Amino acid sequence: MAREKRFKPNAKYRAYYKKKTCRFCEDKSLKIDYKAPEILKEFITERGKILPRRVTGVCSRHQRQLSIAIKKARILALLPFTVHE
Ligand SMILES: [Zn+2]
């Protein structure tokens, strides 16, 4: 009886689940630098918004550093605040 209860027929299994790892933790040579917008560009949308952590898989520590770097880069006009046509 208890066994039947544990089995969930409606449970959704993610068939294509791939564990995301933080790129900055994995590669120590990859530095978060506000003077290097090429790296930061990968973490913003084409409209200039910072991508959430659940999309990029970056850890909380590096996401924090990343958001600060992006904001600095925006002030220096290396990255856009918004992109509009
Ligand atoms: Zn990290």
Residue type, 82: T
Alpha-carbon span 43 to 37, nearest angstrom: 10
Separation of CA 35 and ligand 1 centre (Å): 19
Which domains can be identified in the chain, with CATH numbers? 21-85 (4.10.640.10)
Q: Tokens in use for 32?
A: 């978060």
Separation of CA 75 and ligand 1 centre (Å): 24
pLDDT tens digits, residue range 15-68?
A: 665 667 899 999 999 999 999 999 999 999 999 999 999 999 999 999 999 999
Separation of CA 13 and ligand 1 centre (Å): 27
Separation of CA 26 and ligand 1 centre (Å): 7
Report pTM.
0.75
Residue type, 33: D
